[in-house]
Amino acid sequence: MKHWPTRLTSLDRFLNRFTRLRPGEGGSVVAFFTYALLMMVSYYILKTIREPLLLASSSAEMKSYAYAVTALILLFLVPLYGIAFRHLGKQQLTRYVSLFFLVNLVVFFGLGRVGVDIGFAYYVWVGIFNVLITAQFWAFAADSYNVKSGKRLFPLIMIGATLGGLVAPWMSGALFPITGPWPLLTMAMVLLAFTIPCVHWARVSVPPGSRSQHSAEDDKPDGGALGGITLVLTDRYLLLVAMLIVLLNWVNTTGEYILAEMVIRYADSAVAAGSELGKADLIAAFYGTFFFTVNLLTLVFQVFLVARVIRWIGVRGAVLVLPLIAILGYGLVAFIPIFSLFRLVKIMENSTDYSLMNTTRHALYLPLSAAQKYEGKTTIEAFFWRFGDLGQAGMIYVGLNWFQFGVSQFALLNVVLSVIWLAVAWQVGKGYRSKQEELGENLPPRLHHRPRDRFLPPGEAFDFALSGNTFVSPYEGDVMTFEVEQEGGGELPGWLEFDAEGLAFRGVTPGDIGEQTVLTIWAMDFDGAWAEGRLVLRHQQDSSLSGILPGTRKHNDH
């Protein structure tokens, strides 16, 4: 059996700069981080290739219809996924899904090399690949961590996905004019193949106290013949999350149509003005730069803001942020339809989506059963995600062909959808809180052993630690931070040093010290709930206080 550390390792301490870790969790973060990085580099290479393969010989309207075809295909794929979930172990299922897509890429490579026009089919396939492979990854992550650990560590794991999205678009945009699509496609296949052995590595690297705890009964799917579709439609919380995802993608994809329309106009104008680059190269260069900028800002948000935002306002509050941004952004563009302005709006929308919203929406599944995580989540992130594409495709068709809508009108429609999205997000947040309460996830830490008084004589050195279970959390995977101040709110005196990790105190008592020093110790969990205890340091010996522990070196309070 693997030996797990009881104190923070060097890796744990480094990662603790960004979120709170329990001993041994750093290795699991690195494993999932690597898995996410390889997966997203592969995906963004494929995504950058798909834009010029379709748009160079087609239109932005066909791009919208490709999303609708993707949704229809997923209607048949989701029940097949449910069948696979019933007959395969979860690790094997994760590996086989990646292997299935790897074989698909080999087929596309062969067809493309012999001159077959794969633009539309490849565009549809990348849409399916995107939602299934990422949903599969986060279902696997949610099933590997318990609620408390996942909420703390998902922001760090998401940094790996963000870095992949940052590197790949820049690299693909720079290489596409030189190499064309086929060497890049080969590179994506190699990286995707490397994710397969990451599955076992990631699973076994999670420390016991951070792992998801569920019974075999939780693994039983109950979606019937239609698998996850029935499961989602019969569970109010999952249905609300599905509605959230539909609206999120509807708004975002309509924005992608507006952006694509503007990019095509920009490329046509540049070619007409005598640009040295062709239309396909201009489009590839723009999207490469656009994806790079989005993911650079996403990385900044992910590293410095996401964990803090979730800690400050919780998952319930974080799920409201993106619809509010969409309401403000599209409302502005509806009245000022300028390309440079809309590019900024989309950069902010996508950056928030890929960082805070991505992390939050994956955390929504943490309190659920394994069947709900795998079948329910994959159904929502695959079929219902693309159902939003179907809605926007219909809206684009009707708007263009019946009402001759332009950019301003489509932006205004997005404002209306975003208001509905905000209302649904509010209900999802309430549902998440209810799920947490069902698990009893609303209890604060508590003082388990009251610290006994210490005798620290004037002029003598001391070094002692309180018991590790002075404060306890009622939940597996929770982690506490400790702070100490003088009673009444004063700062610690200069002669007293506090080590928060070991609950240790050391220093030298001054010769002119008073009768006693009284300290308040605070234990706070990741959600901000706290408990406090009182520690009295006495400096004058009294025969009536014979039970006081001496402040001897390396003495533990038991």
* Distant-in-sequence, close-in-space partners of 161: CB < 8 Å, separation ≥ 6: 36, 37, 39, 40, 358
pLDDT at 100: 87
pLDDT at 366: 84
Which among 490, 243, 245 is positioned nearest to 235, based on CA atoms? Answer: 243
Cβ atoms of 30 and 206 within 8 Å: the answer is no
Tokens of 34: 């690597």
Q: DSSP code of 211?
A: B
Work out whether strand 530-538 and strand 516-525 pair parallel, antiparallel, or are unpaired.
antiparallel
CA 138 to chain centre: 8
Residues of the chain with pLDDT under 70: 1-3, 54-64, 67, 86-91, 173, 213-227, 276, 386, 389, 439-442, 475-477, 527, 541-558
Neighbour count for residue 475 (Cβ, 10 Å): 18
Tokens of 167: 């590197």
In the chain the domains, ranked by start, together with CATH numbers, are 25-207+224-438 (1.20.1250.20), 446-556 (2.60.40.10)
Residue 260's SS3 state is helix
Span 202-237, pLDDT tens digits? 888 988 878 876 544 455 555 554 567 788 888 899
pLDDT at 425: 96
Q: Which residue's entry shows tokens 């599209």?
A: 330
pLDDT at 98: 86
pLDDT at 3: 67
pLDDT at 66: 75
**Residue 32 C-beta-side C-alpha neighbours within 13 Å:** 28
pLDDT at 417: 94
Query: Is this prediction's pTM over 0.95?
Result: no
Q: What's the rounded Cα separation, in Å, for the pair 214 and 459? A: 55
pLDDT at 224: 52
pLDDT at 90: 66
pLDDT at 553: 47
Q: Where are the beta strands (DSSP E) in 309-428?
A: none
